[in-house]
Each structure stands twice: as structure tokens, then as C-alpha cells.
Amino acid sequence: MNENEELSKPPDMLDWRWQLRNRIENISGLEKYIDIDDVEKESLKECLKSFRMAITPYYAALMDKTDRNCPIRLQAVPTFGELVTCSDDMEDPLSEDSQSPVEGIVHRYPDRVLFLTTFRCAMYCRHCTRRRIVGSGDAELDHSQINDCVEYINDNEEIKDVLISGGDPLILSDGKLEYILKSLREIDHVEIIRIGTRVPVVLPMRIDEELVLMLKKYHPLYINTHFNHPKELTPQACTALAKLADAGIPLGNQTVLLKGINNDPALLMKLFGMLLKNRVKPYYLYQCDLAKGISHFRTSVDEGLEIMKNLQGNISGMAIPKYVIDAPGGGGKIPILPNYYRIEDDMVILENYRNEIYSYPNRIRV
């Protein structure tokens, strides 16, 4: 094949490497997918001075061309809201830097660690809690740094569970990812390995047969992904999830509650039901973190509790996630529950999803 024939070939949109090479990172690239007026263009220019944009062509094609409130567009395209800093905003809201004994490791809980293998993602989500480091460059841990992390885990026998995250670890090469998995599997006290990824949402073609065959060698292996809206569960995404599930990999989902995107109980019922149908357990519904530049996405906690109350009884219990706040300052994930009961005179007074009242004895009565 000569050079002219090669250049005339249509792009292989199903090739995940092509998708990464052709991410939309500037305004001119974005204008091929959506209409941008002059006001929005100026806002984008200002945002891009502070925060990076990168959108896979696959995900960009899901955006509504004209609707500025499209839930896909809002998650991918910077807006002026990112330049607003509130008094509650924090540079490192989860205090991960202060809980990092080795570069790449966050050790918050006694029995588990977060292993940050890369600071690169297929797409830079506008609500990212690690925006201080993710997207600032396309860096990933080198061989020596990976070995330092593995050595730390090996030297701390209380660590039973390792969550591989980033950035997005599934955009690492198969070889590098397998080196990490193999190294962890050689540590006797590591019982569970988890991978946190948004690849099935924004780059589902990455879930190819070679990757799946490699992953299934390292059971017990769990994958938690990050669908926020039903529009993201495309046929391609569902195929990617099916490949992982068919390989015996249990799947969970962590949704972030985002104002103007998914803060609606009917929409979340649909999302969680669709996830369960695709063999993905809704795991967490996150209250949006206090990272700088994302306050426009945050709902009140009262609204989150009301949504959770609406889910109860109206959708399968298997489809209801835990509503959690990842406590500012590194306190960890704390469940937030609607008030379904009170205790009166040794009786538990219960209220169900229909607002009907029932009672249950608090202690054994003879």
C-alpha cells in the first residue's frame, strides 16, 4: 500500500488507540461535534487556561449538537462554572496527598490501599475530584515507581485489598497492566484486587478480547466503573460490560450525584435498572466532592436523601446503591441514610416507602 492509499483510508473509530490519539482537546476540534456561540467560546478559552479538556470522539458523538444542557456535554465540555471558587472548595478534598506514604499509594484504611498507577484518562470529566493532578500531564508511574508501590504493599501484611486507579488504569498497555496485576498476585496477603475505571463509559472499544483474556487470569478481580446517565449505556458500552461479566469479573458502578445531569429520582431509577440488567451492581451514589471548580455540580445533601427515599420500594433492592459522602480531610466514605425509623417506648416505629407506619419490638418481651 502506498502513502496516498494509506492517507485515504477512513479512520478506524473502533480502534481504541485511534480514539486516544484523536481526543478533542481544543475549541476547533469541539466545533466539529457541537454548536458553540461566541459567549461559550470565550468561556471555553478561559477555562482551558486552568483545566485541560480531552474527549474521545466516541463520547463526543453522544453529545447533543445544540443543547447546552445535554448531560453528556456537561460532563465533557468545560463551562464558566469551573472558574468559580467557593469558600468550601479544597485543592485536595480527600487529603490523599497527606495519606500517601509512597508516590502512587494512598493508605487511608488499615486493610486496603489506593494504587494510583497513572494520571491520564481517556476523557477528563468536568467533575473530577483529582483534577489537581489528573490531566495536568499524561504521566504514569514508571517501572521503578511501580516496584516501590508493590514493595510497600508487600511490606504491610495488613493490606488485603488493592484498588488500582488513577487516572484510568485501563488505558495502560496490556503489558504494563499485567505486570502490576502479576506483581500484586504474588503477594500472599493480598486477597482482592479491584480496578476503578471509566473506560467502559468513554472508550468501550478498549475492552477487547486480549485485555479480557489477560484480566481473567488474576481472579479474584473486581471492576468498578462510573456511569452517571442512561445515555451512556450505549450498545457499545453494554457489549464491553458483557465481555467483562462473561469473563467472571464482578462489576460495580459508582455514580456521582450531579446537579443538572442526574439529580432526578426517575432518571436514576432508569440508570440503576439498566446497570443491573447489564450485570453491574450499583455500588455507590457519591455526593459530589469539594474539589475546586466543581461547585456548580453539587446538590444539597437533603436533595440526595430525598432521591434515595424515592428509590426505596420503587426499584429492586439490588439496584439501590449506598449514598455516601467521602469525608473532607480524608475521613473516608460515610453512608448517609434517609430517616426510616424512630424509637419510642421500646418500640421501633418504621415508615415504608408509601409513608405507612409499622412497629417492631426493640427488645425481646416475655
Q: Of the residues 70, 125, 149, 288, which is catalytic?
A: 125
Whether 198 is catalytic is: no
154 contacts: CB under 8 Å, gap ≥ 6: 187
Whether 149 is catalytic is: no
Asked whether 250 and 222 are in contact (CB, 8 A), the reply is: yes
Q: Of the residues 130, 194, 243, 309, which is catalytic?
A: 130
CA 363 to chain centre: 42
Neighbours of 359 (CB within 10 A): 12
Report the half-sphere exposure of 102 (CA within 13 A, side-chain side). 21
202 CB-contact burial (10 Å; exposed 0-12 / middle 13-18 / buried 19+): buried
Whether 112 is catalytic is: yes
| CA dist., res. 197 & res. 260, Å (int) | 23
Whether 109 is catalytic is: yes
Whether 168 is catalytic is: no
Q: Of the residues 58, 92, 286, 289, which is catalytic?
A: 289
| CA dist., res. 286 & res. 16, Å (int) | 29
Whether 23 is catalytic is: no
Whether 333 is catalytic is: yes
3-state secondary structure of 152: helix
Q: Of the residues 33, 73, 92, 121, which is catalytic?
A: 121
Pair type for strands 192-196 and 221-225: parallel
Asked whether 218 and 181 are in contact (CB, 8 A), the reply is: yes
Q: Of the residues 47, 70, 128, 288, which is catalytic?
A: 128
Give the Å distances, CA to CA, from 236 to 33, 204, 313: 19, 6, 31
Q: Of the residues 108, 216, 259, 281, which is catalytic?
A: 108
87 contacts: CB under 8 Å, gap ≥ 6: none
Asked whether 181 and 193 are in contact (CB, 8 A), the reply is: yes
> Order of strands, edge to edge, in the sheet holding 357-361?
341-344, 347-351, 357-361
Q: Of the residues 23, 112, 131, 309, which is catalytic?
A: 112
Whether 21 is catalytic is: no
302: part of which helix (H) or strand (E)? helix 301-311
Of 299, 224, 234, nearest in space to 261 by CA? 299
| CA dist., res. 277 & res. 310, Å (int) | 20
Q: Of the residues 15, 52, 109, 174, which is catalytic?
A: 109
Asked whether 153 and 187 are in contact (CB, 8 A), the reply is: yes
Active site residues: 108-109, 112, 121, 125, 128, 130, 289, 326, 333
